[in-house]
Amino acid sequence: MAYTQVLSTSCMFYKEDRVPMTSDNSKMKPPHVLTVAGSDSGAGAGIQADLKTCAARGVYCSTVITAVTAQNTVGVQGVNIVPEDFVVEQLKSVLSDMQVDVVKTGMLPSVGIVSVLSQSLHEFPVRALVVDPVMVSTSGDVLAGPSILAEFREELLPMADIITPNLKEASALLGCQQLKTVSDMRSAAKLLHEMGPRYVIVKGGDLPDSLDAVDVFFDGQDFYELRSSRIKTRNTHGTGCSLASCIAAELAKGSSMLPAVKVAKRYVETALDYSKDIAIGNGTQGPFDHIFRLKSNGQKSHRQVGFNPSDLFLYAVTDSGMNEKWGRSITDAVKAAIEGGATIVQLREKDAETHKFLEAAKACCEICHSHGIPLLINDRIDIALACDADGVHVGQSDMPASVARTLLGPEKIIGVSCKTIEQAHQAWIDGADYIGCGGVYPTNTKANNLTVGLEGLKTVCKASKLPVVAIGGINASNAGSVMETAVQNLKGVAVVSALFDRECILTETRKLHAVLKTAASMTLQRTH
């Protein structure tokens, strides 16, 4: 049975409905989770997992540290408990000032800490409390002893909106035998609910003989079995902390409980799947990647990250129509251009189907990177993201460069087509790396394209704060004249038909490269 009931979406667990605004109404207050937990030096679980989860889910996260653990993928080597009065001081600092929406608790290693936490929450009420009753680490090390169970039951559980025990924690809280079946989990969820929390999720990750990861959610009336596929990986350290902090993050954004739990379960499942092949540490339980970024950053690339304006020297721009006409694949065209001396490649595949384009873009990425050549994608930010290209080129009617920058992050290369000084200025403000200026000469490759001429190119180059590549109708016969203008900021030429609408791409690229080199050395002689 999966999701047999649907809950009302009203925020009935909120202690107070608050519009997320600061005292200055023109500024938005971001959703805010405070995590009260232990530090994990290996950063797979605890405070560090909570911070990463909230960052990944777009929620601000503040922290009250209850213990500092020395921990890695092998296990827990040491625990240093933070004195109670200093836990109180941290709680007061954050809760008295920072408009916390949701508190999420993790490792609470002493009776005193549980007690001061519940007192602080009475003094500074928040909209929701998520309690992850951490007792034993995934490596089997005890993080909170049985002495705190009574305090948990009496103080914290009645205040909680949701508790998220695993099988061991559920049986410890109930003082009962090991839970072995989904039916046991249901009974446990019901008994735990009677201790006061509004919702209970009993996590069945350790359930023996189960192909799926089954969790039982209980809202006081109905049970829901939440199932996801079990991902085969050693990198499961911190899943409990991450699930609870993701629930807290979704609640802080305004979600009601069941949708928050479903999103959290899907988030953890996706992160585990993404991270199944990453290797950190030598122990049996590795951390996973909360931000979905480690794999691409770890890929071996011969290209230095970052933009080098001299890469614009011979800028080869592909064209699907031309490749089709000459019966060649994009990859063969790109290989030939690189062999001929192209210093940067742009895939400008106006008519390609997305699926095929992505496959070709991935293959071109590998080719370019094995030669240390950057690969940019024209227009399609989605394709650039999916194949982890080095960047994009956008025009005045494409995705604005400022939005592309937000989507792609600070490192990717962004080029913008500009015909005027104003457009060049805006490209700089938007965080572009270079501009493409043209058409310098008339072209058949781009319909209805205004020709700016050499004069238009010079005007834009002189005003630009960014390096410029000239484009439009450029070939081996006129590239010399373009480069010999020696106007400031002009770094090279971008060419489509003079390379790709020719019988031999290799020959034409070599020819153009030789012309550009001659022009560059003549300019150098003239200026010295």
Ligand X SMILES: Cc1ncsc1CCOP(=O)(O)O
Ligand Y SMILES: Cc1ncc(COP(=O)(O)OP(=O)(O)O)c(N)n1
What is the identity of the amino acid at 104?
K
Minimum CB distance to ligand X, residue 419 (Å): 9
Q: How many residues bind Mg ion (CB under 5 A)?
A: 3
Distance CA 36, CA 51 (A): 11
User: Judged by CB under 6 A, which of 127, 335, 380, 393 binds ligand Y?
Assistant: 393
Minimum CB distance to ligand Y, residue 446 (Å): 5
The residue annotated as part of the active site, out of 66, 239, 318, 343, is 239
Strands 60-71 and 32-40: parallel
Minimum CB distance to ligand Y, residue 418 (Å): 9
Distance CA 148, CA 381 (A): 52
Is 239 considered catalytic here? yes
The residue annotated as part of the active site, out of 52, 203, 419, 446, is 203
C-alpha 377: how far from chain center:
20
Indicate the residue whose CB is closest to ligand Y.
395
User: Judged by CB under 6 A, which of 344, 495, 515, 516 binds ligand X?
Assistant: 495
> From Mg ion, ligand X, ligand Y, none, which one binds at residue 359 (CB under 5 to 8 Å depending on kind)?
none
- In this structure, how many other beta carbons lie within 10 angstroms of the beta carbon of residue 433? 23
Report the site for ligand Y in 307-326 (rule: CB under 6 A). Answer: 315, 317
Q: Which stretch binds ligand X (CB under 6 A): 8-16, 102-110, 152-160, 468-476?
A: 468-476
Q: Check: CB of residue 315 under 8 Å from CB of residue 490.
A: no
Distance CA 514, CA 59 (A): 54
Distance CA 52, CA 265 (A): 16
Give the 3-state DSSP-derived string for 219-283, with helices as H, strands as E and coil as C. Answer: CCCCEEEEEEECCCCCCCECHHHHHHHHHHHHHHHCCCHHHHHHHHHHHHHHHHHHHCCCCCCCC
459: three-class secondary structure by DSSP: helix
User: Judged by CB under 6 A, which of 445, 459, 489, 509 binds ligand X?
Assistant: 445
The residue annotated as part of the active site, out of 44, 106, 238, 341, is 238
Q: Which is nearer to ligand X, 233 or 396 (CB)?
A: 396
How many residues are recorded in the chain? 528
471 binds ligand X (CB under 6 A): yes
Distance CA 424, CA 441 (A): 19
Is 240 considered catalytic here? yes
100 binds ligand Y (CB under 6 A): no
Q: Which is nearer to ligand X, 185 or 499 (CB)?
A: 499
The residue annotated as part of the active site, out of 106, 204, 240, 472, is 240
Interface residues with ligand Y (CB under 6 A) are 315, 317, 346, 348, 378-379, 393-395, 398, 415, 417, 436, 446, 469, 471, 494
Catalytic residues: 203, 236, 238-241
